[in-house]
Amino acid sequence: MDALRRDARFAFRLIRKAPVVTVATIVTLALGIGLNAGVFTVLSGLMLRPRVTVEPARFVHLQPAYSGTHVPRYESPALSTRDFLALHDRTTTMSAVTAWSVRDTRIGERAPFRELTMLVSCDFFTVYGLGRLQQGRLFRPDECGQPAVPAAIISDGFWKRYFDANPDILEKPLVINGAPFAIIGVTPPDFSGQLRGEGIWIPYSWEPSMTRGAAAFNDPGTAWLWVDARLKPGASTAEAIAELNVLMRQQDTLTPGRISAVGVNNGAFIHEPSVRPVAMFVLPLVLGSVALVLLIACANVTLLLLSRAIARQREIGIRLAIGCSRARLIQMLLVESVLLAALGVPLSMWLAWQAPAVMRRMFPMMPYYPMRPDAAVISYLLAASLAAGVGAGLAPALETLRQRLTPMLAGQDPFASRGGRSRLRDILSSAQIAMSVVLVAGTVLFFRAGSALAVRDPSVDSAHVMTAPYEPPRGASAAFMTAMTGRLERLPGVRGVGYAASPREDVHPPLLVVQGRPPESGRRVPIDVVSASYFETMRQPLLQGRGFASTSAASDPRPLVVSDALARIWWPDGDAIGARVEAEDGRRFEVTGVAHADVPFAAGSADTVGAYTLPPAQAPFGTLFVRFDGDARRLQAAVHDVLQELSPAAATIPITLAAADEAQASKFFIMVKMVGALGVSAIVLALVGVYGVVSFAAGRRTREIGVRMALGASRADIVRLILTSGAPPIAIGIGAGLVLVIPAAIALTRLFRYAPVALRAGDPLPYVFVAVALALVAALTMLVPARRASAVPPSTALRTE
């Protein structure tokens, strides 16, 4: 401990003597560590922490699993109403049990907008730690029973955004799916139960009116409720699991053939089955990206400390000569680097504290997540600071102590014979450039995806195609769609009407197999349901065959138009027309046409490997497309009036496809900005490192430069000498970065495969652009110290020791 104290005092003295290097080191490490800690804070709040802020240790989320011959319909990790009520009434280990589900609803009357609404049982707010509301009251028990009472509670954000924070909001009507609900309360800001959407809660007994088709509320065979609970004081998770499984086995006797098992978790978002597969890609991808920035920062600091250690060769040689051990010297140098990292902890902590606020400003309508830094975040930050300090200081310490003692005592430059270059410095420079290539390439890929999202194929002419989500009346048949499109086609200026819908299966596309081929040759293909007039309305070209204009939706096999990308995979010789395809659910299709490859699907994924078919007999939900000539604003009102007349509760204000694409792209560009910030940070840090290495190497070669100039070398020759000596590490780094981009691009492609964003990771153009741009910028960066070295007079350079 005495030795550590002496090393710390000596390190403080050295830090005071070199304020510029000290500030540069502290700021570089603090930015790298703070950015990492900030991103970890956000990801921890979004994915890894319980969703409640009040006594999170007692909060549990129930996760049932079913097996046997009678598995419940709908969502497997959910409970039916009957099972939930049984657990609610019989549990002895939990003080409160609540159930909830989410529905996509229409809010408003004349021009309704879509919003997620939570259907909750009356204990919901108690389980999520809310004792009292900002205004009004909570649900009464009778309001959650049947008949359902039209009462609603709204969030503070929804109240301010849509009601202008009207203080007389209580008992005001809120129209949900055409039914008026009385607003009985407003939750406080940052209420942790704001799990989906802007924040609207209604009694879960309203589910039959919110769902089209068979209602789940009174169906014991449908599992539709997500269940959360609070453990009683003193009750353990193991006791709760044991009791829940006993109760569910009793419920299994009411459903012969069903076998249930219940587990519990802390309610973190990552435990949701639909989220976990994506999170397994997102978490390593995001954390790996910010880890690259931290590694670049550490490499930068290592280069600074290495240069500083070389300048201290004589001091270190004297210490070794008088008997100091090399291990003792390594400790001394490490204490200095760890101290520098520790001095940056306050700035790192401030950055981590600001990250959640920045995230909420970028996504103002994001549900509430507890993202304030906690003990895990602080531990992560301290561990990262310690690791960065040790990592940045260990390499310079070992490199310095590898040199021979005699040249060290004489103050000779150990790298003079190699043109001022060090293998370690070259490796670090190459590593910085390689990691920068990966981050900048990712930024360019995201930017191109966002740009493609906003610009459709030129043949579509999105400025003259109007789009609106539509929802046919309950039980409407295909005849309703025919009548609706006929009414719209008679409007002045309308040149075509079509519609498209993505069935629920597009979340998990069906497995299709070409008849006559082995089952293992099958492929999961997203299928869009479109009207017969869709291709003509959208002017989407067919490369082969025909569309659906003369085909019946009731035909067997059903007609299928495949994308050119899918046709090239299955029928590379071009004989797709007339081929028969079977789905895993027994549906049969016949290929009637091949669509253009570069046009994303109307309502499905952005992947161009897909297909289209006609809708079933029942009118589907989806998106309406109206091609027109003339003024969009005049037609907008006319289209809305037709939709209002045919389906008053579902009418929305139509907008042009160009405006819809721009709105969607603007949301995606928020992510582009976040990735771009990492890319810019990486470039700046890497270029600072390149500048430092070249500048240091040029400074160590001052005497050599003087000799060369005295022998007749021109300034251009000196500039060329400095540039060529610094170029190899940069070239190696760019090459290594292009190799590292390959697995990163594969991961991004898998992540965005079923997203509405076309991520073209296989196009070599972005990588060539990044490589050339970085090479040019690095050359310009090296030019500054090269020109400065060439400007030193030969007489001054020759006198340099």
Output 214 or 157, whichever has higher pLDDT: 157
For residues 295-304, average pLDDT: 78
Pairing of strands 465-470, 622-628: antiparallel
State the CB neighbour count (10 A cutoff) for residue 573. Answer: 5
Examine residue 651 and state whether it is found in any structural domain, yes or no: no
Whether residue 291 sits in one domain with residue 170:
no
- Are 84 and 118 contained in the same domain? yes
Instruction: Calculate what percentage of the chain has a pLDDT beyond 70.
Output: 80
User: Are 86 and 206 contained in the same domain?
Assistant: yes
The two three-digit tokens of residue 591, written as one number: 């290929």
**Looking at the structure, do residues 675 and 742 belong to the same domain, yes or no?**
yes
pLDDT at 488: 87
Q: Let me know whether 611 and 759 are in one domain.
A: no
The number of domains in the chain is: 4
- Output 409-418 pairs: Cβ under 8 A, ≥24 positions apart: 409/314, 409/317, 409/318, 409/321, 410/314, 411/313, 411/314, 411/801, 412/313, 413/310, 413/313, 413/700, 414/310, 414/313, 415/310, 415/700, 416/700, 416/701, 416/704
**Interval 588-617 mean pLDDT:** 66
Pairing mode, strands 465-470 and 655-656: antiparallel
505 vs 699, more confident: 699
Q: Maximum Cα–Cα distance for the chain, whole Å? A: 101
pLDDT digits (tens, 9 = 90+) for 366-412: 777 788 888 888 888 888 888 888 877 777 767 666 656 555 555 55
What percent of the chain is modeled with pLDDT above 90? 12
Domain stops at, among 646, 676, 699: 646
For residue 435, what are its two tokens? 């990691």
Please give the residue that has the higher pLDDT: either 403 or 646: 646
pTM for the model: 0.69
Residues 494 and 630 in one domain: yes
User: Alpha-carbon torsion 568, 572, 575, 579, what sign?
Assistant: negative
Question: 357 CB contacts (<8 Å, ≥6 apart)?
Answer: none
Query: Residue 606 above 50 pLDDT?
Result: no
> What's the pLDDT at 111?
62
Band of the pLDDT at 755, cuts 50, 70, 90? low
| 663 pLDDT higher than 50 | yes
| 767-800 confidence digits (pLDDT tens) | 888 888 888 888 888 887 778 777 767 666 556 5
Residues 310 and 360 in one domain: yes
Q: Is residue 420 a part of any domain in this protein?
A: no
Specify whether 550 is located in the same domain as 581: yes
**Are 213 and 336 found together in one domain?**
no
CA nearest neighbour of 355 among 135, 606, 46: 46
Q: Report pLDDT digits (tens) over 137-173.
A: 999 888 888 777 899 999 998 999 888 888 899 989 9
- Model pLDDT for residues 229-267, shown as the tens digit of each residue: 999 998 999 999 999 999 999 999 998 888 889 989 888
Q: Would the pLDDT of 420 be above 70? A: no
Please name the residue that has the structure tokens 């060329």. Answer: 720
Q: What pLDDT shows up at residue 59?
A: 93
How far is the C-alpha of 624 from the C-alpha of 501, rounded, in Å?
A: 9
Instruction: Please check whether residue 739 lies inside any domain of the structure.
Output: yes
Q: Are residues 586 and 615 in the same domain?
A: yes
Q: Do 153 and 61 share a structural domain?
A: yes
Give the integer Cα–Cα distance in Å for 741 and 633: 46
Cα angle vertex 419, ends 418, 423, to 5°? 50
Q: Is residue 460 part of a domain?
A: no
Summarize pLDDT for 57-89 with one digit per residue, the tens: 899 999 898 888 777 755 557 899 999 999 999
- Which residue has better confidence, 304 or 399? 304
The whole-chain average pLDDT of the chain stands at 79
Instruction: Using the Cα atoms of residue 338, residue 344, residue 350 and residue 354 in order, give the sign of their dihedral.
Output: negative
Q: Is pLDDT larger for residue 467 or for residue 364?
A: 467
Q: Measured in whole angstroms, how far is the alpha carbon of residue 581 from the centre of its chain?
A: 35
pLDDT tens, position by position, 687-697: 777 777 677 66
Instruction: Kindly state whether residue 464 falls inside one of the protein's structural domains.
Output: no
pLDDT of residue 603: 39
Of 184-188, 541-545, 616-620, 680-684, the one with minimum mean pLDDT is 616-620
What is the extent of the structural domain holding 87?
57-267
* C-alpha distances out from residue 130 to 192, 282, 734, 749, Å: 9, 32, 54, 42
Name the 3-class secondary structure at 511.
Answer: strand
Residue at 131 is within a domain: yes
Residue 446's pLDDT band (cuts 50, 70, 90): confident
Both 67 and 178 in one domain: the answer is: yes
DSSP 106: E
